[in-house]
Amino acid sequence: MTLVEVRNLGKSYNAQTRVLKDVSFDVEAGEFVSIIGLSGAGKSTLLRCINRMVEIDEGKVIFDGHDVGSLNKKELRKMRTNIGMIFQHYNLVPRLSVIENVLHGRLGYKTTLQGVFNRFTELEKEQAFYLLEKLGIADHAYKRCDQLSGGQQQRVGIARSLIQEPKVVLCDEPIASLDPNSSEVIMDYLKSITKELNIACIVNLHQVEIACSYSDRIIGLSKGNVVFDGPSFMLTSAHTDEIYGTKTVEARKLVSV
Amino acid sequence: MNEKAMRSQRKWQTIIWVAIIIVFTYLASDITNFNIIHGIATLPNAITWIFSNLYITPETLERLPKILEKLAETILMSIAATTTATVFSLFLGLMGSKTTGTSSVLGVFARLVASVARNIPVVAWALILLLSFGQNSMTGYLALFVGSLGFLTRAFIETIDEASHSAVEALRATGSTYFQIVFKAVIPQCLPQMISWILFMIETNIRSATLVGILTGTGIGYSFDLYYKTLNYNAVALVTFAIVISVIIIELMSNRIRKVIL
């Protein structure tokens, strides 16, 4: 089933530079897709067009049958409850506890007052603890988020997105600020939730090797254009040269580290 | 450039700056006919006067209960002005900040209110309001309120702008409403800073309240003015002492609170 359809998407922040040019692809449920490319290639913008955190200029994004660009404020909020998002810098509220941050994922399902006064149901709380248990950080539930390590904070971020019961999880450089061990843990979790819950996972990465080993499919972006779209085993060094604009083997190695 | 050249350059820079400051000081005092030497020469006399007149005698201590009553009035008025100003400033701050502002018109409005309220000194506000409200504590309260409103709005706008934008983005991505984002992401992050500013405002207001009180004839400022004009310098000393002690106590208390919350 096609969950996300991106059709001829274009985006420009100012008149001179077009960040995205005519980008088209589909993502199915249960698919793990990596988007690779240089910094500034438009990866983050592409991801944020899917849940319209940035406005769509040209083309269309269709999520689960809804044209994302034409939704009004209320419909947009409702749509966003079905899209989880994970960030490079975790984007938690550092002074609040882990469990509070996880429950923030439910705010989209609440009225303003229910949200402001923390009226979460027992079921939601149990679900939050279940997710923390699953991600191995249940012991830290009542700790403040700024006392956790980077890897643990990112797991809180994952829990926050999963409690939304999302159909798609968008991950913007989820491991860019983590050490190799934590990175592996986070990527393993992302991979397993994609399969277990049969959701789509779209991950921005700049490590080609990690992208190849985890994802079913890779989309290569260069200067706002899709220059590669296919299963990860089909990605050759010729493609990475095009994506990263490098010619020499040494330079490519530097990029892919 | 080697180390020696850099050092000699630094030396010359220092000499030039010191020379500029001396020239400016000289010109400024020359234009205003202020004689620095004379000013310094009268210091010993001033100190002698202070020590021979501004001391507390046992008789003046009888006035202490009355002074403390006035002092309490002043402190409570300062706190009331600060807390009410906080409520309004919070909304103006949310309107004025780039992170949480909803429309540019409201943003400009909030910044304008803050700027007008803040750039007119509290004493000037007291004199302006004196004309319409007369000599009573309402005038003092309003003058402090307006001053606090301006300062706190400005401080809140900056606090909210500085607080990381990231959690706001995350909550927006979950489909949260505006007020959910404000209460769940913005305020939890800004709270320690905001409380710190509010405490600072209370301290500042207690100090300004004395001056405002002299103008509006209320609180401890009125006592000060009264004793001063009746040449009861011993009582003036007691009033001053009471003010100093209370300001120090409030400062210590708020430092303590800051340490706990930050």
Concatenating the DSSP letter of every residue in B177-213 gives -HHHHIIIIIHHHHHHHHHHHHHHHHHHHHHHHHHHH
Nearest to A91 among B166, B177, B180 (CB): B166
CB contact under 8 A, A78 and B179: no
Average pLDDT over residues A222-227: 90
With beta carbons under 8 A apart, name residues in chain B contacting A92: 167, 170
pLDDT > 70: percent of chain A:
95
Please report, for residues A46, A104, B78, the alpha-carbon distance to residue A172 in angstroms, rounded to integers and kept in the order given.
10, 19, 48
Nearest to B170 among A87, A95, A111 (CB): A87
CB contact under 8 A, A93 and B191: no
Average pLDDT over residues A72-94: 93
**Helix axis angle, B187-216 to B122-133, nearest 10°:** 60
**Domain-wise residue ranges, chain B:** 3-41, 58-261
Please report, for residues A20, B69, B154, B217, B257, the alpha-carbon distance to residue B195 in angstroms, rounded to integers and kept in the order given.
44, 27, 14, 30, 9
Nearest to A108 among B176, B178, B183 (CB): B176
CB contact under 8 A, B184 and A87: no
Nearest to A80 among B175, B183, B188 (CB): B175
Q: For residue B110, give how far its alpha carbon lies from the nearest alpha carbon of chain A (Å).
A: 24
Average pLDDT over residues A28-37: 92
Check whether domain B58-261 has CATH 1.20.1260.10, yes or no: no
Average pLDDT over residues A17-34: 91
Nearest to A93 among B167, B177, B179 (CB): B167
* Whole-number average pLDDT of chain A: 90
Label residue A207 by pLDDT band (50, 70, 90): confident
CB contact under 8 A, A81 and B175: yes
**Statement: the pTM of the whole predicted model exceeds 0.90:** no
Average pLDDT over residues A178-197: 92
Confidence at residue B148, expressed as pLDDT on a 0 to 100 scale: 94
Q: For residue B165, give how far its alpha carbon lies from the nearest alpha carbon of chain A (Å).
A: 8
Q: pLDDT, tens digit, for every residue of B143-193?
A: 999 999 999 999 999 999 988 788 999 999 999 999 999 999 999 999 989
Confidence at residue B135, expressed as pLDDT on a 0 to 100 scale: 84
Q: Which residue of A has its CA nearest to B176?
A: A108
Q: Which of A107, A145, A158 to mutate to test the interface with B (most CBs of B within 10 A)?
A: A107
ipTM: 0.88
CATH no. for A2-82+166-256: 3.40.50.300
A104 in B contact zone (CB under 8 Å):
yes
**Domain-wise residue ranges, chain A:** 2-82+166-256, 91-165
